Structure 1
């Protein structure tokens, strides 16, 4: 049974949002002050009694989300943004939506794997506190490089997710890329590393973006000393267009025979496939080609993407993909989960 205070919160919210009454009028009805009404309305939002959603009439988001979902067999959440929006604004809007989705998807006794990067750092800034019990956040790929340890950057990012959910945090203190495949093989036999890999294998949720080799806004892995010039030239010669969790992909989604992947510390698409929910977060024109590669690899179950990037993704997909070609066949049988299109539709 609701307390008197909770009843006041409900009454104030109903008068303000449903009856379009001004705060001064509500204050008279409730025999209180305008400032108290303002606090009651704020409390209603914090309690989840009120959710505010903007639905621009001209937005293409719902239709784009349904088209992407039908083409790739995934759940899609297209975030409405104006065509004129700058990259930073698009990234922030996508990050806000992703943070909200995570709050609804991640709960007690679950394990979430996080791949560090610029996009995930944006998501971390918009997380709200959700108490959980027995949950764990684990780093999916190493962070050290030949210019700096890289560990502080990744550690702060992963810790932010852990703090937001009251979750235990497990870091992965290895390089992003080993110099030699043999070194990686030896490290993977160490008990301390095997412990982290075991937690990664038990993940219920994986959160990652895609990295772009080219473009005006370089992804973190290509701009922060993780690869030298010879590595980048080798990637171009092998047809690599981007990466997921620092595992490199060609445009067709293939990755197994890319030489640098033998030195990468992130989970391959094959290993990520074991994770029930795999959330890919994307904003930016330079991410369209690597996003398509990730979708073709079948590594994504849930995509959060801005409206402009979603539109350009569909314009890039060859007709054979949208008409039951390679992409659709590769993903046939994977269910479409969740509701599509608008962030406000997420429950």
Structure 2
């Protein structure tokens, strides 16, 4: 990809390779300490981030199955979870864990039914679900199948035909090439998914490494870049069934947007939600285009990108604070 995109610019190619080398050799320091697991179901955990203040409602932050959940708790001072706890809420992070060979047949639907719904039931009261990326898709389905106090989607795709014909065709070619090997393995490695993300915007992938080559080593900007790239390039594999359903039924078939996805014995339908719901949509998202949003009645359009809304400089003003205000205004369940 680098050769193809910089064929006419040897200087850019050299700069990107220098940035890649600097990223590989950067000092990482101690890894971020994970919050303790409070509830467990199979390999999944609800990690408890506590709260400052009494009696505030529980939240479950549902990350995507793709990439680790750590983007929601990237560093001690860049952590949506720790910030929400400091506002008096009681956030839990759903950690999906690493699949085992026995999980091969657990598709996306199975992750909701067998892991998320039982963990929701473990809490003492209906929680607010906050779903990010594919976690938003799954949280919406869970909110249709279980009592929850509210639902907040953050860059959550629902109408997968909104990805556009060209992107869906490119993803279909990727799956046609990788699918048979993944079926043999029983899993979809992160490398398969990451190569798909690179294809969405190869120039941006190269440009960010060019920019990193010029950063002061060890600076705050450089440390944040390394933390985000480590997150983006890591993650447990998907089970084969989850990968197949994602590529074939969601992206290619738009089973969610067409109203055909059944979870927990009910149709997952945004129009059927019985709880307050809000949809935070990025207008500059290169991974989950705005056209794929569920278009809930309460929709907030943001200027920050897919990852920037979570960890970027403008994330607190554009997402964190409006999200906390919305949750705080929800009626208390009885």
Q: TM-score range by the shorter chain?
A: 0.3 to 0.5
TM-score (normalizing by structure 2): 0.33
TM-score (normalizing by structure 1): 0.32
